Structure 1
Amino acid sequence: IEEYASTSAELSGYVNAAVEIFVEQGAKVEYVSVQNVSRETWHFGTHHARVERDAELDWVAGGFGSKRGKIRIQNDLAGPGATSRVTGAYFADGLQHLDYDTFQEHIAPNTTSDFAFKGALRDSSSAVWRGMIRVEEDAQKTNAYQENRNLLLSKDAHADSIPGLEILANDVRCTHGATLGQVDREQLFYLMARGLSRQEAERLIVRGFFQDVLDRIELEPVREALGAALEARIPQA
C-alpha cells in the first residue's frame, strides 16, 4: 500500500514518482496507490508492472489531491496465463486537473487484462483518461477490457475519455467503453420527492456511481479507505 500525502493543505511542492512491479511466475500481488497531496502540489507518476506466467496482479489507484496530476500506468502481460486487473477512482474539484494514461500490453498468449476507471468532477475541474490496449502478434487468445466513466457535477467541469486498441493478433477478445454524463434528473427528482434535499440526493447518486468500482476491490480495509476518501469529497448537505 502506497500513499502520497501532504502534511499541510497549504504546502506547495512537486512530486515525481516511479514504481516498478515484477510479478513472477505463479505469484499474486495486490498493490494500492493513493494520491492525496495538497492542492498546491504538482504530482507526476510512472507506474509499470510486468506479469509473468500464471501470475496475477490486482491494482487499485485513487486520485484525489494535487493541483495538476498526471499518472501513467502500464501493465505488461509477459507470460502465458498472466492476469492483470486495475481499478481506478478519482474525484476533482476547484481548478484541479487529473490526467491518466493507461497501457495494457499483451505480449504472451492466453492473457487477461481488465482496467476500470471512474471519476467525478465538480466546480471547474477537469480530467483526461487515455487508454490503450495493445496485443502483440503472438498474443493469441487475449481477453482485454478497458472502461472509463465520468460523472460531471457542475456545468463547468470537463472530462475527456480516449480509449484505443492496437491489435496485431487475429484470435482475441478486446472491448472498451467510455461514458460522460451529468446527474440523472429523474433520479434526482425521485429522491427529492421522497424527502431528501438536493445535496442529499446528489450525495446518494455519487455514492451509487462509485459503488461498482469499490465492489471490485477485494481487500476490505482498502475498499473502506477508498470509499471514505471519496465520501470526504462529496459536498456535505
Structure 2
Amino acid sequence: MAEKEKVVIKSGRREVSAPRKFNFTREMVNTSSDSPLASYRADAWSAFEKFGLPSTSEEAWRRTDLRKMPVDKFNLPADGAYNDLPPIPKDLLKPLVGGQHGGQITLLPGGSQVSLLPELAKKGVVFTDFRTAENEHPELLKKFAGTVIRAQDGKFAALAAALSQNGILLYVPKGVQVEEPLHSVLWGPGVDLAHISHLIIYVDVGASVTYVHEYASPDEADADSMHAGLVEIVVADGANLRFVELQSWGNHVWNFSHERVHVGKDANLNWVFGAVGSKLTKNFSDLDLIGVGAEGRMSGFYFTDGSQHLDHDTQQNHLVPNTFSDLLFKGALGGKSRSVWQGMIYVAPGAQKTDGYQANRNLLLSRDARADAIPGLEISADDVRCSHGATIGKIDSEPLFYLLSRGIPQDEAEQLMVEGFFDPIIQRIPFEGVRERFQQAIKEKLGRK
C-alpha cells in the first residue's frame, strides 16, 4: 500500500514594520514659562504623541492615503531660513481687495514681516504675528487659542497647535468697522521643510472686517515639503467677517488643515475658499452657527491637474434655532487628479427654523480624472428646510460643438466652457482682485492640460 503524500502547510512569518514617525521632538515645543501658550502647547504635544498617523481604516481618511508621505524627511525651518530661500513674488503682495491694504503680514520660513495702518492700531485693532503677540498681547493669545479647535481633533491639529512657528492674531474690537482689507501670505519655499501655521481671528460684537489669507510656494521637482495649519475664527454677536483663503502650494507639498468658525447671534460670515495647488490636501472646514439669527456662506473653488489629490471635509452645524447656511463648492479636474468632497449639514435637537443648503459640482476634463462627492444630512429637528446636491460630469458636447462650429479653436472653446462652469462661484466673490486671481489660475491650469 503506497504511503499517502503528506501536505505540509507552513505558517508564514508576518513582519511587523515599525510605525512611521515624524522627526519632531518635545524639545522643539516652546513651553518657556514666559510664553502665554506654554500649557496649551504642552497639552497639544501630548495629544500629538498619542495619535498615530491617519490611515484609510478611519472613515474621515478612507479616500486619502498617506502611506507614500515621507514623514521622516520633514524638518522645521531654522530662524532666518528665508534668507537663503527664494523670495516671495511681488505679485503675491499686491492688494486683492480695494486699492490698498489696511495691514499686511508675510509669514516666511523662520521669520515674518508685519505692517498695520496707524489709524487701525489706534482703534485697538490687533493684526500681528504670534511672536510679537506673545510679547505685546499675551492676554489675547491665552484667551483665544484652542477655544474653537481642540488639539485633540487629530494628529495634524495637535501638531499645528504644538509647533506652530508662524501664527497670526487678528482681533477687531467691539463696534470697530475696518474698511481697508487686511492681507497675509504664508510663503513656503524650500524642500524637506515643515511649514506649521496657526491663525486666530476674533471679530468682536458689532465689528466688521475683510481679511484675505494666502498659502503659496514655488514648485519643486522630485521633492517633498509639508504644511499643517489651524484656523480658529469667532464672529461674535452682530459682527461681520468676509474671509478669503487662496491655496496655491507647489506640487510637492503635503497640505493638512483644520479650520472652524463660530458665528454668533445675528452675525454674518462670507467664507470664500480657492485651491489650485499642493500634491495632496486634506482639509477639515467646520461652520458652527451658535447664535440665533447667525448666517454663514461657504463658497469653494478648486482646479486640479497632474496627479493632485484634494480632499475637503465640510460641516455646517446648526446648533440653535433660526440659522442659515449655504455652501457651494465647484471643481474642475484634469490629468489623473482626484478630488474628494464630503459634506454634512447637522441640525441639533431644538434647532427649529433651520435653513441649510449644500452643493458640490465637478467637471471632469480628462478620462483619468476622478471626483467623489458625498453630501449628507443629519437632522434632529422637525421644522427645518435642508437640502443638498452633487453632480459629476464632463464638458457638454453640444455647446462645445456650437463654439467649434463658430470657428473658435478647441482650446479656447474648452476654456470658455470651464469659465462658464465656474461663473456661479466667481459671481459669489465680492472682490474683483480675487476674481481675477481665480480666473488667471483657470487659464494657467488649462494651459497645462
Shared fold by TM > 0.5? yes
Contact residue 298 and residue 328 of structure 2 kept, 8 A: yes
Q: Which of these two proteins has the greater Rg computed from alpha carbons?
A: 2
Q: Which residues of 2 match residues 141-152 of structure 1 at below 5 A?
A: 141-152=353-364
Query: Residue 378 of structure 2 corresponds to which residue in structure 1?
Result: 166
How far off is 1:9 after superposition?
A: 4.0
Provide the residue aligned with 1:214 in structure 2: 426
Q: Which has the higher contact order (CA 8 A, sep 6+)?
A: 1
Counterpart residue number, 1:6: 217
Which blocks of at least 5 consecutive residues in structure 1 are unaligned?
none
Indicate the residue corresponding to 2:96 in structure 1: none
Distance 1:9 1:88 in 2: 26
Match of residue 74, structure 1, among 271, 274, 286: 286
Correspondence for 1:43 among 255, 265, 285: 255
Q: Partner residue of 2:404?
A: 192
Give the Å deviation of 1:196: 1.0
TM-score by length of 2: 0.52
Amino acid at match of 1:212: P
Please tell me whether the aligned partners of residues 203 and 235 of structure 1 are also in contact (alpha carbons under 8 angstroms).
no
Structural mapping, 1:1-237, within 5 Å: 1-10=212-221, 12-235=224-447
CA RMSD of aligned residues (A): 1.3
Deviations along 1:66-102, one digit per CA (max 9) or x if unpaired, are 1111111100000000000010000000000000000
> Which 4+ residue blocks in structure 1 deviate beyond 6 angstroms?
none
Number of residue pairs aligned between Structure 1 and Structure 2: 237
Contact map agreement 1:121 1:158 (CA 8 A) in 2: yes
Does the Cα contact within 8 Å between 1:61 and 1:88 map onto a contact in 2? yes
Deviation readout 1:159-184 (Å, 9 max, x if unpaired): 01000000000000001110000011
Which region of structure 1 is more displaced relative to structure 2, 57-66 or 218-227?
218-227
CA distance in structure 1 between the aligned counterparts of 2:231 and 2:447, rounded to whole angstroms = 33
Displacement of 1:225 in angstroms is 2.1
Higher strand proportion, which one? 1
* CA offset digits 1:181-209 (Å, max 9, x no partner): 00111111100000011111111100000
The farther-off stretch of 105-114 and 227-236 is 227-236
Q: Does structure 2 retain, via aligned residues, the 8 Å contact 1:199–1:236? A: no
* Contact 2:236/2:264, CA 8 A, preserved across alignment: yes
| Contact preservation (8 Å) 2:293, 2:324 | yes
What percent of counterpart residues are identical?
Answer: 49
**1:236 Cα deviation after fit:** 6.8
Structure 2 residues not aligned, in runs of 5+: 1-211
When normalised by structure 1's length, the TM-score is 0.97
CA distance in 1, matches of 2:441, 2:410: 22
Deviation, 1:8, is 4.5
CA distance in 1, matches of 2:243, 2:443: 22
Amino acid at match of 1:3: E
**More off after superposition, 6-15 vs 161-170:** 6-15
Letter of the 2:323 counterpart = T
